[in-house]
Amino acid sequence: MTQLPPPSEVKLGLVIDLDTCVGCHACVVSCKGWNTENYGVPLSDMDAYGSNPVGTFLNRIHSFDVQPETGPAQTVHFPKSCLHCEDAPCVTVCPTGASYKRAEDGIVLVNEDHCIGCGLCAWACPYGAREMDAAAGVMKKCTLCVDRIYNENLEEVDRVPACVRTCPSGARHFGDLGDPNSEVSLLVAARDGVDLMPEQGTKPVNKYLPPRKKDQLVQPAGTGCGGHMEEVAAEPKGFLAWLDKSLEAL
């Protein structure tokens, strides 16, 4: 059914730390790997070894350059996948009922056997979280690795989404954002986590932790390099002074 269920108590989702993400794309690769071999049809590539390769991915890393009014610019790596929105517009527009939000944990999924591949859900998503698979003609999206997180055949440590398990910098966190005392909720509260495009009214479950403020190197007055070395002389002396004067005179 494409009617949204009443807001669930459990809201499983991701918290993404823009301060720690190093932009290595390991989560992109692990996501593609897991989701090609497990839930639903594989994530296909078209012309994979040709001149114009195109493929389906559920997770992509954009890199932004942020220029403050003064000082150098800052690079922010920005992973983006389905935000499992509470008011998911992709669910209600679906004409077949293939797109749905689970009442028990809030995960937004696609029943690929019912999907006609009309693409309207991808149009309704502001975040570009859905991609039509060119080989299968059905809509693909992040499943929050629903086939891992409840999978008792896996070691407990592996019962998190593939992207979270693989992240080498600890920039991705998985948990219940419906529980205010969960680790992820506490993290969001401590770091002032934000919603992407709040003006779209989608109420995303996934949160983003903005980059921390850069610290400034404070130098004690009159000392160079934090007081460890003598200051470099502004005026040359001795041979250099003679050379400077002679070259000026030429």
Token pair of 42 as six digits: 């594989």
Other residues' Cβ atoms within 10 Å of the Cβ of residue 61? 18
- Give the residue with the Cβ less far from another protein, 50 or 238: 50
Which run of H or of E encompasses 239? helix 238-249
Amino acid code (one letter) for 99:
S
- Give the residue with the Cβ less far from another protein, 39 or 127: 127
Q: How many residues does the chain have?
A: 250
Contacts to another protein from residues 197-236, by CB under 8 A: 197-201, 208, 210-211
Beta-bridge partners for 234: none
CA pair distance 225, 234, nearest whole angstrom: 15
134 binds another protein (CB under 8 A): yes
- Give the residue with the Cβ less far from another protein, 34 or 208: 208
117 binds another protein (CB under 8 A): yes
CA pair distance 30, 155, nearest whole angstrom: 17
136 binds another protein (CB under 8 A): yes
Interface map 25-54 toward another protein (x if CB under 8 A): ---x-----------------------xxx
Stretch that binds another protein, among 95-103, 148-156, 160-168, 180-188 (CB under 8 A): 95-103
207-209 β-sheet, strand order: 172-176, 12-17, 207-209
Amino acid code (one letter) for 191:
R
Shortest approach of another protein to residue 139 CB, angstroms? 8
Which run of H or of E encompasses 100? strand 99-101
Among 137, 180, 226, 227, which residue interacts with another protein (rule: CB under 8 A)? 137
- Give the residue with the Cβ less far from another protein, 46 or 243: 46
Is the Cβ–Cβ distance between 141 and 82 less than 8 Å?
Answer: yes
Give me the residues that bind another protein (CB under 8 A), please. 1-3, 18, 28, 52-57, 60-69, 73-76, 78, 80, 89, 91-98, 114-120, 122-128, 131-134, 136-139, 194-201, 208, 210-211
